[in-house]
Amino acid sequence: DADVTQTPRNRITKTGKRIMLECSQTKGHDRMYWYRQDPGLGLRLIYYSFDVKDINKGEISDGYSVSRQAQAKFSLSLESAIPNQTALYFCATSDLVSHTNTDTQYFGPGTRLTVL
Amino acid sequence: GNSVTQMEGPVTLSEEAFLTINCTYTATGYPSLFWYVQYPGEGLQLLLKATKADDKGSNKGFEATYRKETTSFHLEKGSVQVSDSAVYFCAQPEYGNKLVFGAGTILRVKS
């Protein structure tokens, strides 16, 4: 079984709808991240969480919210979806092995979201 | 803030050709540097990393040397295979191990 899972894998929705993307991990990591991938832009950070009580905005948080329900679960919500939120969304986790920012991030398979 | 710049793709090579994907960075200090790879339909996975200047990361025949003089971390492989076709991302971490990614370079290897 995959260590980092995301649901759904694909979703088509309409402008104005509320959407939730879910991420679960079995790696036991405290740190979790949400990124979006757009062609030619790489991945950009939306939100990140260092533990259940510590949630922080990333580079492009406007229009998104998150919930860290447990150490293993980190959900991303689009309160009112718009077409420019069409993208590939990735969840990632990492452990705090060192304090030198050298730790590997482990990515889920991604959710392809289309907003019509 | 920190940034990463990668060569634009796609890069199309024949099998057994030599590969170079350029990556340069801007940062305060000397961050760790990473190469992640995304195979079709999958999430990203770490390919290799270097944690300090002059370090060489290597994995699966790929190599990259952390060069602070040129602020570069170019990815190389001596002989690519069709199975290396993927998107390659150069990245550096910020506080909290948040990653700053380059735009990604698509590699296509023809048999």
The predicted pLDDT at position A41 comes to: 85
Is residue A40 over pLDDT 90? no
Q: What is the pLDDT of residue B27?
A: 85
CB A112 within 8 A of CB A10: yes
Which residues, 6+ apart, have CB-to-CB distance to A108 below 8 Å? Answer: A2, A4, A5, A6, A23, A25, A90, A91, A92, B43
CB < 8 Å to B89, chain A: 42-43
Q: Span A84-95, mean pLDDT?
A: 95
pLDDT band, very low/low/confident/very high, at A98 (cuts 50, 70, 90): low
Q: What distance separates the 2 farthest-apart alpha carbons in chain B?
A: 42
Residue B29, pLDDT score: 76
Q: Computed from CA positions of residues B58, B108, B39, A42, in that sequence, does the dihedral angle turn out positive or negative?
A: positive
Query: Does an H or E element contain A35, and which?
Result: strand A31-38
**B43 vs A41, A103, A109: nearest CB:** A109
The pLDDT value given to residue A100? 62
CB-based contact B2:B26 (threshold 8 Å): yes
Instruction: List, for residues A9-22, the tens digit of each pLDDT value.
Output: 999 999 999 999 99
Mean pLDDT to the nearest integer, A51-68: 94
Q: In the structure, what pLDDT confidence band is assigned to residue B80 with cuts at 50, 70 and 90?
A: very high
A110 contact residues in B (CB cutoff 8 A): 42-43
Per the CB < 8 A criterion, the answer to whether B86 and B107 are in contact is: yes
C-alpha span between A85 and A10 (Å, rounded): 14
B2/A contact by beta carbon, under 8 A: no
pLDDT single digits (tens) B3-14:
999 988 899 999
**Given pLDDT bands bounded at 50, 70 and 90, which one contains residue A107?**
very high
Predicted confidence (pLDDT) per residue in B82-99, tens digit: 999 999 999 998 877 788
Tell me whether residues A45 and B99 touch, CB distance under 8 A. yes
- A-chain CB neighbours of B4 within 8 Å are 42
